[in-house]
Structure 1
Amino acid sequence: MMSMHDFIKECQEKVFSGTGISSDDAEKLFNLPDKDIGELARAANQITRDFNGNRVDVEQLNNIKKNACSEDCSFCGQSAFFNTGIDTYQLPPAEEVVIKAEKAKKEGAESYCLVAAWREPSPRDFEKVCNIIQEINDKVGISVECSLGFLTPVQAKKLKELKVKRYNHNLETSKSKFSEICTTHTYEDRLKTLYIARDAGLELCTGGIIGLGETRKQRLELALELATLYPEEVTINILVPVPGTPLELQTKLENTEIVRMFSVVRFLLPESVIKISGGRETNLNDSGEELLQSGANGIITSGYLTMGGNDSQKDMNMIKKIGLEA
């Protein structure tokens, strides 16, 4: 019988050879004993370095519209369905966003993602967002990404014309878990927007949140779905329970479960940016050092949609400390 060591090496060789691992391989990797997780992580790190080098993709976000969203995603502090006490605001003037984009560039961010809390942009709001993007292009020169909810094909093409590099639209969780997390739209709705963005020539950023109460099998299910999409970027959030939401009392995932997810996703998607997103500062003891050596090669710095994050300089120092580059 093949040892766990030999099995991990065999899977790694499949990735290096371009064959790729099967769903059965991924399932076995996901279910390795805890004592073998360190070896799994080291193998994932070798894949990361081989395909992506030592560079860490550093991104900053701007939550440009923070308001009562019409969707009932049970983890979200911005949903109109839950009383979370979070401040709200509408779209800011373009010049305010430009100032923040300039700051992000100076702090070393490679990309700047504009995020809006709504189901989909109205024609009027979409026009305002396009104006913001144009102003950033003209005055800052940083790679712009967007996360604006559901898109029409016309809107996706317009974003491409404005040189938006990547569109973010997370699957959030596995298909089998989705209806427990959201009832106001479907998993298929989310996939449809990803297909629309891809058809318009936009790169894809998609992923989800782990720690929603899903099983390990459902985390594997999400990872395999992501592999079929082959996005240029995978963003993995670790739940931070928000008071007032249905998941406010959700218990934390074990660290080994978090490492499993990042490592196996790397085996499945050797060339993608795998980004440690929301929750790394509160769920991890090291703010992501271990995960950046277990398959991940990207972070979001300086805060998230409804919560703060590490200062950008602290994150840059962390990246340098572990021998990586930003």
Structure 2
Amino acid sequence: MGVLQFIKDCQEKVFSGNGISSEDAKKLLNVPDGHLTDLARCANEITRDFNGDKVDVEQLNNIKKNACSEDCSFCGQSAFFDTGIETYQLPTPEEVISRAQKAKEEGAESYCLVAAWRGPSPKDFDKVCNIIKEINDKVGISVECSLGFLTMQQARKLKELKVKRYNHNLETAKSKFSEICTTHTYEDRLETLGIARDAGLELCTGGIIGLGETREQRLELALELARLCPEEVTINILVPVPGTPLELQTDLPKEEIIRIFSLIRFLLPESVIKISGGRETQMDDSGEELLQSGANGIITAGYLTMGGNEAKKDREMIEKIGLKA
């Protein structure tokens, strides 16, 4: 069987609802370079068939920055590394409401509250809950959260507050994880995802590519994501932060980025697949090609420790390629 026919046969398995096998996934990720455009095109057709032309646009609010107790080697917010990044504690509800309102006016469909800590203390969790209530009452935008490790009681409270989705990234493959973080385990992360799911929250999970992992480890991550079947997958492309252990990490070739986004679409045809940090600096088109290779979501207007495109520029980019913001 030729490579193009194999890709099309895998696409047909997805369309028929049967899905692809792990062996199919391995072969797809390793198609020859000359067939990468075929893989991307078929992934795009799956995206359009299952998700239409709409691009999910999200904005973040980093509500507590830096001094995190975890030693994730890519992260500029870890207390273990001297990165020179500004620190601050939880803002007032008024500050967050103002930014949430601006995000809504700029066309964001969801607003994610992110905090740099291992997990929220009871006092900080109460503050976050108050912020969520205020956003619900005064803005009316879909709220998502990324607050680290959760207890079941906390997860149920978030669900009660109508938080739609909980983000907790796996970061990388299980076989790579201990090289990236030593202060908690891969299993710790899976446990929090299980708690969020059991509490009735939708899941957002993914990771960072370009950490020095192999292609096989990216496949390992993709298959684990497929097993979890999250409503949203968020894939970051590493932007090396000075002062972290990965500050000299070599950029991942664009072709490798396209491969993994396309594969994840074959594995998760109905999920939002979101291009997160790094698209503006690691892709020469701010993500246009990825939005035509399996992705159907972006984070706009900046990330946790770095800026991003203005929301208006991203809307124009989406419309330019015939999609809807």
Instruction: Measure how far apart 1:236 and its partner are.
Output: 0.1
- Aligned partner of 2:279 in structure 1 is 280
RMSD of aligned C-alpha atoms? 0.3
Paired AA for residue 287 in structure 2:
G
Q: For each residue in 1:4-42, what CA deviation from the matched residue of structure 2 results, as whole angstroms up to 9, or x when unmatched?
A: 010000000000000000000000001111111100000
Q: For each residue in 1:39-60, what CA deviation from the matched residue of structure 2 results, as whole angstroms up to 9, or x when unmatched?
A: 0000000000000000000000
- Aligned partner of 1:33 in structure 2 is 32
- Aligned partner of 2:256 in structure 1 is 257
- Aligned partner of 1:210 in structure 2 is 209
Alignment of 1:56-71 (within 5 A): 56-71=55-70
| Structure 2 gaps, min length 5 | none
- Aligned partner of 2:222 in structure 1 is 223
Paired AA for residue 245 in structure 1:
T
- Aligned partner of 2:323 in structure 1 is 324
Q: For each residue in 1:72-116, what CA deviation from the matched residue of structure 2 results, as whole angstroms up to 9, or x when unmatched?
A: 000000000000000000000001000000000000000000000
Instruction: Measure how far apart 1:316 and its partner are.
Output: 0.1
- SS state of the match for residue 154, structure 1? helix
- Aligned partner of 2:176 in structure 1 is 177
8 A Cα contact 2:66 2:76, kept in partner: no
| CA–CA distance in structure 1, aligned partners of residues 64 and 104 of structure 2 | 21
- Aligned partner of 2:314 in structure 1 is 315
- Aligned partner of 1:233 in structure 2 is 232
Q: For each residue in 1:113-165, what CA deviation from the matched residue of structure 2 results, as whole angstroms up to 9, or x when unmatched?
A: 00000000000000000000000000000000000000000000000000000
- Aligned partner of 1:130 in structure 2 is 129
The answer to whether structure 1 residue 105 and structure 2 residue 107 are counterparts is no
| CA–CA distance in structure 2, aligned partners of residues 319 and 85 of structure 1 | 34
- SS state of the match for residue 59, structure 1? strand
- Aligned partner of 1:268 in structure 2 is 267
How high is the sequence identity, in percent, across the aligned residues?
82
- Aligned partner of 1:159 in structure 2 is 158
Runs of 4+ in 1 over 4 A off after TM superposition: none
The answer to whether structure 1 residue 194 and structure 2 residue 161 are counterparts is no
| CA–CA distance in structure 1, aligned partners of residues 181 and 4 of structure 2 | 40
The answer to whether structure 1 residue 17 and structure 2 residue 16 are counterparts is yes
Aligned residue pair count: 325
Q: For each residue in 1:258-310, what CA deviation from the matched residue of structure 2 results, as whole angstroms up to 9, or x when unmatched?
A: 00000000000000000000000000000000000000000000000000000
| CA–CA distance in structure 1, aligned partners of residues 301 and 270 of structure 2 | 26
| Structure 1 gaps, min length 5 | none
- SS state of the match for residue 90, structure 2? coil
- SS state of the match for residue 208, structure 1? strand
- SS state of the match for residue 75, structure 2? coil
Paired AA for residue 18 in structure 1:
G
- SS state of the match for residue 305, structure 1? coil
- Aligned partner of 1:118 in structure 2 is 117
- SS state of the match for residue 235, structure 1? strand
- SS state of the match for residue 85, structure 1? coil
Instruction: Measure how far apart 1:67 and its partner are.
Output: 2.4
Paired AA for residue 128 in structure 1:
K
Superposition TM-score, scaled by structure 2 size: 1.00
- Aligned partner of 2:2 in structure 1 is 3
- Aligned partner of 2:41 in structure 1 is 42
| CA–CA distance in structure 2, aligned partners of residues 184 and 123 of structure 1 | 21
Paired AA for residue 256 in structure 1:
E
| CA–CA distance in structure 1, aligned partners of residues 133 and 84 of structure 2 | 33
Paired AA for residue 175 in structure 1:
K
| CA–CA distance in structure 1, aligned partners of residues 291 and 185 of structure 2 | 32
